[in-house]
Amino acid sequence: MIIGVPKEVKNNENRVSAVPGIVQELVADGHTVYVEKGAGLGSGINDSEYAEAGAIILDTAAEVWEKAELIYKVKEPLESEYKYFKEGQLIYTYLHLAAEPHLTKALVDKKVTGIAFETVRVGRGLPLLRPMSEVAGRMAVQEGVRFLTKPHGGKGLLIQGVPGVKVGKVVIVGAGIAGTAAASAAVGLGANVTLLDVNIDRLTELSNQFGRDIETLYSTKLNIANSVKDADLVISTVLIPGAKAPKLITKEMVASMEDGSVIVDVAIDQGGSTEHTEGRPTTHDEPIFVEDGVLHYSVANIPGAVPITSSYALCNATSRYIKIIANLGLEKAIERFPELEGGVNTHAGAVTYKAVAEDLGFDYVALKDIL
């Protein structure tokens, strides 16, 4: 198969989908891999390393998109990239379509097969979302404590305190992969940590894991409101796979918080989980907006800030399926690895992921009826 690795174009997105070790394996399997010039530079990988691994370096994104049957990316294509779509092309990347009506329409109109990392499910897990959630959860604490400092517009609090002074309070809504990574980082700092989720089994596991270092609460509107009120840092990581994030943190709750507190909405890539962040993703250049005196951080590509870690972590997870799709073709790949079916969000001019179709008002067509 002909595989294309374009350079990412999102603001401060320095990750790259394929690292040289994987390019080498794809080439050894008989595939052709085109890499856009400079695609790996942000992650510390030179063109010459790709060339040594057997890739062909092309000067422009247009050439990579034009030649490739299978595009291997990191972030959802931006509007400037829609013009490259061609009928029958496969795009394997994060898509987050529930928050992207225009992209969904472009994929459908151009009859592109969109295979989303974030909806490939194995059992109850999302293995291609996991590595970036691990990064984003840790970064949410790192970024949150940065913006709690006065020079960055926060209330001026050292979250871990010092002897004789109370520590700060971190509230984490959603105790999945990102939530647990955030909890671990916040506990490591010595903060006072509360975790809320609707999954009791998960809360039990975390309660056993962290003991008295955290408080767990069942996630109801009342429990969220009471916890958020005196929180210094709120981190939301809720997810209903593929669907728009529920708006759990209301404007009223934000108004009850102290000025200079910080909310990090990790779930922004699924549309945002607070009323203020809905439809307001921010960028690494301008990560914050302020509402009701509270700083809102809603960067949709948090791991893009630490590409040396993120590119390798992401490629470790996603490369398994790029090899499978390239070696078998999509239809056989799905027959042998049925979890891939859940990744296919659009195909042959239809939306094939139910939650996306429902959220965006498209007709849902089951993939098995058109593949």
Ligand X SMILES: NC(=O)c1ccc[n+]([C@@H]2O[C@H](COP(=O)([O-])OP(=O)(O)OC[C@H]3O[C@@H](n4cnc5c(N)ncnc54)[C@H](O)[C@@H]3O)[C@@H](O)[C@H]2O)c1
CA pair distance 245, 267, nearest whole angstrom: 7
Q: Is 216 in the site for ligand X (CB under 6 A)?
A: no
Q: Is 268 in the site for ligand X (CB under 6 A)?
A: yes
Size of the site for ligand X (CB under 6 A): 35
Closest distance of CB 62 from ligand X, Å: 27
Closest distance of CB 162 from ligand X, Å: 31
Q: Is 74 in the site for ligand X (CB under 6 A)?
A: no
Annotation marks residue 269 as catalytic = yes
Q: Is 308 in the site for ligand X (CB under 6 A)?
A: no
Q: Which listed range, 17-25, 231-239, 317-325, 337-345, lies at the site for ligand X (CB under 6 A)?
A: 231-239
Q: Is 197 in the site for ligand X (CB under 6 A)?
A: yes
Q: Is 173 in the site for ligand X (CB under 6 A)?
A: yes
Q: Is 319 in the site for ligand X (CB under 6 A)?
A: no
Closest distance of CB 182 from ligand X, Å: 9
Q: Which listed range, 55-63, 265-273, 345-353, 359-367, lies at the site for ligand X (CB under 6 A)?
A: 265-273
Q: Is 302 in the site for ligand X (CB under 6 A)?
A: yes
3-class SS letters over the chain: CEEEECCCCCCCCCCCCCCHHHHHHHHHCCCEEEEECCCCHHHCCCHHHHHHCCCEEECCHHHHHHHCCEEECCCCCCHHHHCCCCCCCEEEECCCHHHCHHHHHHHHHCCCEEEEHHHCCECCECCCCHHHHHHHHHHHHHHHHHHCCHHHCCCCCCCCCCCCCCCCEEEEECCCHHHHHHHHHHHHHCCEEEEEECCHHHHHHHHHHHHHHEEEEECCHHHHHHHHHCCCEEEECCCCCCCCCCCCECHHHHHCCCCCCEEEEHHHHHCCCECCCCCCCECCCCCEEEECCEEEECECCHHHHCHHHHHHHHHHHHHHHHHHHHHHCHHHHHHHCHHHHHHEEEECCEECCHHHHHHHCCCECCHHHCC
Closest distance of CB 121 from ligand X, Å: 10
Q: Is 207 in the site for ligand X (CB under 6 A)?
A: no
Comparing every residue's Cβ against ligand X, the nearest one is 176
Q: Which listed range, 23-31, 53-61, 125-133, 250-258, lies at the site for ligand X (CB under 6 A)?
A: 125-133
| Beta-bridge partners for 113 | 90
CA pair distance 343, 165, nearest whole angstrom: 49
Annotated active-site residue in 96, 276, 296, 347: 96
Nearest to 191 by CA among 209, 168, 158: 168
Name the DSSP letter for residue 240: -
Q: Is 301 in the site for ligand X (CB under 6 A)?
A: yes
Closest distance of CB 304 from ligand X, Å: 7
Task: Name which of 18 and 129 has its Cβ closer to ligand X.
Answer: 129
Q: Is 28 in the site for ligand X (CB under 6 A)?
A: no
Annotated active-site residue in 197, 232, 265, 269: 269
The answer to whether the CB of 39 falls within 8 A of the CB of 16 is: yes
Closest distance of CB 132 from ligand X, Å: 4
CA pair distance 262, 258, nearest whole angstrom: 9
Q: Which listed range, 29-37, 58-66, 171-179, 351-359, lies at the site for ligand X (CB under 6 A)?
A: 171-179
Q: Is 174 in the site for ligand X (CB under 6 A)?
A: yes
Task: Name which of 299 and 334 has its Cβ closer to ligand X.
Answer: 299
Task: Name which of 31 and 247 has its Cβ closer to ligand X.
Answer: 247
Q: Is 202 in the site for ligand X (CB under 6 A)?
A: yes
Site for ligand X, rule CB under 6 A: 118, 126, 129-130, 132-133, 136, 173-179, 196-199, 202, 219, 237-240, 246, 248, 266-270, 300-303
Please identify every residue annotated as catalytic. 96, 269
